Each structure stands twice: as structure tokens, then as C-alpha cells.
Amino acid sequence: MYDRKENTAYYLLNENKEIRVCKTFLINTLGITQRIIRTVIDGKARNDGFTPPDQRGKHGKQCKLQPEVIQAVKDHIESIPKVESHYLRANTSRQFIDGGLTVAALHRNYSEIQKQQNKPIVNYDVYSRIFNQDFNIGFFKPKKDRCDECEAYENASEVEKNKLRESFNLHQEEKSLSRHEKDRDMKRCHEPDNNTIVFTYDLQAVLPCPENMNFNMAKKVNGDVIKTGDIKSIKFTKNCVNYQYRTTYKTENWGAKAVVQPKNLRGNRGNRKIDEIILKQAYTSKIPITERKKRDLLQLLKANLVPRYYESFYNNLI
């Protein structure tokens, strides 16, 4: 009743000689699957010798999303606060999202917003595809970019994070405002006839002025001590002995004033040549850690600047 299908024989070359083998031997020798063999046989049956193109997803019956629905997803992703990597921005344009977010968490937030506004919601697969194909965003910020407060919050437990959340959110807000102010100053540099110059550098790694020029800047005009760690920006005026400062980026008020007092300069240590310096071995045995150093390290552990995983190591230091 039915035409008999053609038999198929399988051959392998050995010293230019065709040796007939079974199908199982061919599959195991070449490390292929039966599907590949079927594809080759079908191509040979058509007498064109070519593998047929993949027709998956090309049936033309896909459910197409409206442009406004796709745009709503993009708008939500763009609304997420993002920052560029401070140390890696010269090598990549990738941006990073603060916190421990995931695509799933973003999709849940997007779904809640769309639901409140009675607007259509795309499923997770569509949201994830748009996020990965149309954006260059990462979910972590390189660890070396974190400050002490961010590191402490990251290493805190959920109970500790609840206590720190208010100050941490304020810290994040100030950080965003500082970046906004930097961007504004950068744009000002490109304005016609503007003599503004913007420098950016890492204060922890660079000493931007000669050592014998460090002034005492820790007192206000009325003599009160300034907590320099709270200062966000400083303004110097030419030919003025005082400077102004702000402790927040939320205001443009430069009302606070402080005194710039020169310190006593250290004496000249001489100009000895490097080949005249004779180095002596300072120690003959391993030096134990000092109590003060250990106390400082334990303080870092207590402040959550060191992950709890290393708690035993630091507690057992000599």
C-alpha cells in the first residue's frame, strides 16, 4: 500500500577507503545526534545538498505587543536609579543598579505599577528580553566602588538593615545629588565664554596639593570645631581667609563659614642622595599585631565593614 523508503547506509573513511558502519557506530564516533543524521538525509532527498533553514518562530502567528506596551517597560527600566562604575567607566559604558535587585524583582515592581494604573502587563519573559537586549545594565556595583556606609549596609543582617535603612536612603540621596551637581558643572564647562574647570579624582588615593601646604580647616569662624566628614562641598574665594561649606546637596546656601589657618611647616630634612642612604634590617623576627591595631580591626568588624564570615579570624589575632 505504501512506497517503501530507501535504505540508508553509513560509511567512514579510513585511508581513503569507505568502510560501512552501523548507525550507532557513526553517532558515537562523530559525537552527533540522530537528529543531525535525519537533517542530512532529508537534505539529500531534496537533491539540493543543503540543510533546510530553521523555521522556528517564523510561522507569522506570534502575538505582537503594542508599541505603547513595550515603551511602558522601557520607561520603567529607565526610571531605575543607575550609576556608572567610578573606576571602570574608561573601559565600559555599562551602568549598574545599586542594591540587591534582580530582573524578577524589577518585573514585580513594574507589574504593581501597571496594575495600579489599570494598564496592560507583559510577562516576565518579555520584560527580561527587553531588559537584556535594549539595555546595558548590571545588577552589581564593583566592590571597590563602595564606601564604608554602603559596605556596612551590604554586610548587615535584615534586622540591622531595618535600623540603618533611613540613614542609608539619605546617603543614597546625597550621592545621587552629588552626581547631578557634577554633571551640571560638566555641562557648564561647555558653555560659550565659560572659564569653569572641573577636576575629578579619588580623595583617598591622591593628595592634590603639596604636603607642606596642608592647612588647618577644622574650625568655624566662631571657633567651633567642624566635623569634616560631614562636609559635602567647599567654596573658596580669592583673597579671602575664610571658606564656605555645605553639609548637604539639597540646598544652594553657602552660609556656613570656616577659618583657613596655616599649620607650622615641618623643618627641612636635607637633600641626601639616594645612594648615600644605607638601609638596615629593622626586625629579626615576625612582629605581632599591636593591641591598637587589633582594636581598630575589631571595630571594622563591629561596624559591618568586614563580612561576618571572617569574624573568627579577626577575633583570634595575636
- The reply to whether 100 falls in a domain is yes
Residues 253 and 317 occupy one common structural domain: no
d(CA 114, CA 264): 64
Residue 274 lies in a domain: no
In a domain, 255, yes or no: yes
In this structure, are 20 and 87 located in the same domain? no
The answer to whether residue 58 sits within a structural domain is no
Same domain, 36 and 75: no
Last residue of a domain, one of 110, 126, 145: 145
Domain endpoint, select from 91, 112, 145: 145
Same domain, yes or no, for 117 and 73? yes
Q: Is residue 75 part of a domain?
A: yes
Q: What is the C-alpha separation between 111 and 97, in angstroms, rounded?
A: 19
Q: Based on the domain organization, do 302 and 257 belong to the same domain?
A: no
Closest CA to 210 of 263, 246, 257: 263
**pLDDT reported for residue 302:** 85
85 and 122 in a single domain? The answer is: yes
| pTM (two decimals) | 0.41
Among 145, 162, 190, residue at a domain's last position: 145
Predicted local distance difference test score (pLDDT) of residue 107 = 93
Same structural domain, 71 and 35:
no
Amino acid 212: pLDDT:
40
Q: Is residue 199 part of a domain?
A: no
Quote the domain boundaries for residue 251: 212-262
In a domain, residue 179? The reply is no
**If the chain, 318 residues long, is cut into consecutive pieces of 10 residues, what is the mean pLDDT of each piece?**
77 91 92 86 70 69 81 90 59 67 88 92 92 83 66 84 90 87 87 84 54 60 77 80 82 73 47 61 78 87 80 78
> Residue 77: inside a domain, yes or no?
yes
Shared domain for 46 and 98, answered yes or no, is: no
- The number of distinct structural domains making up the chain is 4
How far apart CA 151 and CA 283 sit, in angstroms, is 36
* 41 and 83 in a common domain: no
